[in-house]
Structure 1
Amino acid sequence: MIPTLQRSALTLVVSATLWGAQGLEAQGIEARVNAVRTGTVRFTYAAGEGVCGNGANWYRSRDGRSGTFNGMWSGAVANREVETTCDRGPVRVVVQREEGDTKAIRLYVGGKWRADTGVTDLGALSAREAGGWLLSVAEHGSDKVARSALQAATVGDSIDAGAAVLRIARDDSRSQEVRSNAVHWLGELVGERVAASLDSIAYEAGDRDVRRAAIMAIARRPKDEAVPALQKLAETLPDRELRRTAVTALAQTREPAAIAWLERRLGQRD
Structure 2
Amino acid sequence: MTTLRMTSIAGTTAVVLTALAGIARVAPAQSIASQVARVTNGTVRMTFAAKPGICGSGNSIRHSNSRGSTSWGNENNSRDVEWESDCSLGPARVVLDRRNGELTDLRFYVGGRWRPAGADVVDLGTVPAREAADYLVSIAQSEKGSMGEKAIFPATIADSATIWPALIKVARNPDLPRGTRTQSVFWLGQAAGDAATANLNSLVLDNSVDREVREQAVFALSQRPRDEGVPALIAVARTNKDPEIRKKALFWLGQSHDPRALDLFEELLTKK
Quick check: TM above 0.5? yes
TM-superposed CA distance for 1:24, in Å, is 2.9
Segments of structure 1 that go 5 or more residues without pairing to the other structure are 1-18, 75-83
Segments of structure 2 that go 5 or more residues without pairing to the other structure are 1-21, 77-84
Q: CA RMSD in A?
A: 2.4
Label 1:147 to 1:231 Cα distance change in 2 as closer, same or farther (>3 A): same
- Return the match for 1:51 from 40, 51, 54: 54
Distance 1:53 1:254 in 2: 32
The alignment's TM-score, normalised by the length of structure 1, stands at 0.81
Distance 1:21 1:128 in 2: 14
Count of residue pairs brought into register by the alignment: 241
- What's the CA shift string for 1:138-193, capped at 9, x where partnerless? 11123211101111111111112122111111112223222222211221222222
Give 1:243's aligned residue. Answer: 246
TM-superposed CA distance for 1:66, in Å, is 4.8
Query: Which protein has the larger Cα radius of gyration, Structure 1 or Structure 2?
Result: 2
Give 1:12's aligned residue. Answer: none
SS in 2 for 1:47: coil
Stretch moving more, 113-122 or 89-98 = 113-122
TM-superposed CA distance for 1:130, in Å, is 0.7
SS in 2 for 1:190: coil
Larger RCO (CA within 8 A; separation ≥ 6): 1
- What's the CA shift string for 1:228-257, capped at 9, x where partnerless? 111111111111111110011111123344
Q: Which runs of 4+ in 1 moved over 6 A?
A: 19-22
> Residues 45 and 156 of structure 1 are in contact (CA less than 8 Å); yes or no, is this contact kept in structure 2?
yes
Matches within 5 A, 1:131-170: 131-170=133-172
Distance 1:175 1:33 in 2: 23
The alignment's TM-score, normalised by the length of structure 2, stands at 0.80
Specify the code of the residue in structure 2 equivalent to 1:38.
N
Distance 1:61 1:261 in 2: 32
- What's the CA shift string for 1:30-55, capped at 9, x where partnerless? 11111211001111111124322223
Distance 2:259 2:92 in 1: 37
Distance 2:147 2:109 in 1: 15
Distance 2:112 2:67 in 1: 22
Give 1:122's aligned residue. Answer: 124
- Return the match for 1:232 from 231, 235, 249: 235
Label 1:21 to 1:173 Cα distance change in 2 as closer, same or farther (>3 A): farther
Distance 1:199 1:48 in 2: 26
> Within the alignment, does 1:112 sit opposite 2:83 as a pair?
no
Specify the code of the residue in structure 1 equivalent to 2:115.
R
Distance 2:162 2:89 in 1: 20
- Return the match for 1:213 from 208, 211, 216: 216
